[in-house]
Amino acid sequence: MPQQAYGQRVISIGMGTTSVLPRGLEAAFRLAAEAGFDGIEVMITGDPATRDAAMISALSRRFGMPVLSIHAPVLVLTAAVYGLDPRRKLERSVELAQRVGANTVVVHPPFRWQWRTARRFEDHVAHVSATTGATIAVENMFPVTLRGREREAYAPHWNPGELDVEAMTLDFSHAALAGVSALELAERWGDRLRHVHLCDGSRMEPNELVLDEHLVPGRGVQPVAEVLALLAARGWSGAIVAEINSRACRDDDALRLEWLRETVDFARQHTTVPASSESRRAS
């Protein structure tokens, strides 16, 4: 499936391996190819396959799915993957990305209880990016509401737009949990928006039930289509990576494939620039 091209710029429509959990890495590559994606983002987890460069590269060649990006192991369940030193974890994630041909690494801001890491987070990101040449795209997270009061769960801030970082990842489900419009974030971040996690959320206000839904785009209330159209109109170059929650599909890969195809079709529909717009931009 060809990538979406606009002039000299290209938007890649990829799929994250998280979209097929609890299925394994091979199933992720196979389903991404069958659904018609351009490539894949691999999240480093407790599964050794997700950090095995030789295996990832072999699957990439076998299924014709380039690795567009690597997601660093920053979840609670992956706290010990690649050790406890945050800079070393990021460095090793970049090393894996470079070995499999990807130039973008996605990372979350630290949890607030990781105060030592949080204090040096921006410096860590800048140092690793400068020394490796990789794009370190910091992802937006969300505050948590407890007993009616909003609490910061991440530091220095859940919104990377408030941080001194050069590149950011926009996640629509996380924006929904934060009670903000992803379109507002995209407009404020401007050229610092380098990477997208394509999904949706059903709410637009903070709540005490932290349900990170990652719905198929278009099934929620976030302005997903508007953000994709904005990026296409800008001539944006980057990767739009589907990160949907398909656990409800269980072992029904036929249903999972339907959801993935619905997602990639949504992305292509809303990143298509009308021919008249292309003509005006060329002139």
Lowest average pLDDT, out of 66-70, 71-75, 117-121, 271-275, goes to 271-275
Give me the helices (H) in the chain, please.
25-35, 53-63, 86-99, 115-132, 172-178, 182-189, 224-234, 253-270, 275-282
Distance CA 240, CA 242 (A): 7
pLDDT of residue 218: 97
pLDDT of residue 145: 66
Lowest average pLDDT, out of 79-88, 93-102, 153-162, 272-281, goes to 272-281
8 pLDDT tier (thresholds 50, 70, 90): very low
Phi, psi dihedral angles at 280 (to 5 degrees): -65, -40
pLDDT of residue 76: 87
Q: Where are the domains of the chain?
A: 4-282
9 pLDDT tier (thresholds 50, 70, 90): very low
List the structure tokens of 82. Answer: 């690649």
pLDDT of residue 206: 61
13 pLDDT tier (thresholds 50, 70, 90): very high
43 pLDDT above the threshold of 80: yes
152 pLDDT tier (thresholds 50, 70, 90): confident
List the structure tokens of 202. Answer: 């059903």
Task: List pLDDT tens digits, range 205-234.
Answer: 665 556 899 999 999 999 999 999 999 999
Buried b (16+ CB within 10 A) or exposed e, 150-163: eeebbbbbbbbbeb
Q: Mean pLDDT throughout 31-60?
A: 98
Distance CA 74, CA 283 (A): 45
Distance CA 32, CA 64 (A): 10
Q: Mean pLDDT throughout 103-109?
A: 97
7 pLDDT tier (thresholds 50, 70, 90): very low
CATH H-level, domain 4-282: superfamily: Divalent-metal-dependent TIM barrel enzymes (3.20.20.150)
Q: Mean pLDDT throughout 39-45?
A: 97
121 pLDDT above the threshold of 70: yes
Q: Are 90 and 107 in contact (CB under 8 A)?
A: yes
Q: Mean pLDDT throughout 15-42?
A: 97
List the structure tokens of 138. Answer: 């910091």
pLDDT of residue 230: 97
pLDDT of residue 252: 95
Task: List pLDDT tens digits, range 125-138.
Answer: 999 999 999 999 99
177 pLDDT above the threshold of 60: yes
Model pTM score: 0.92
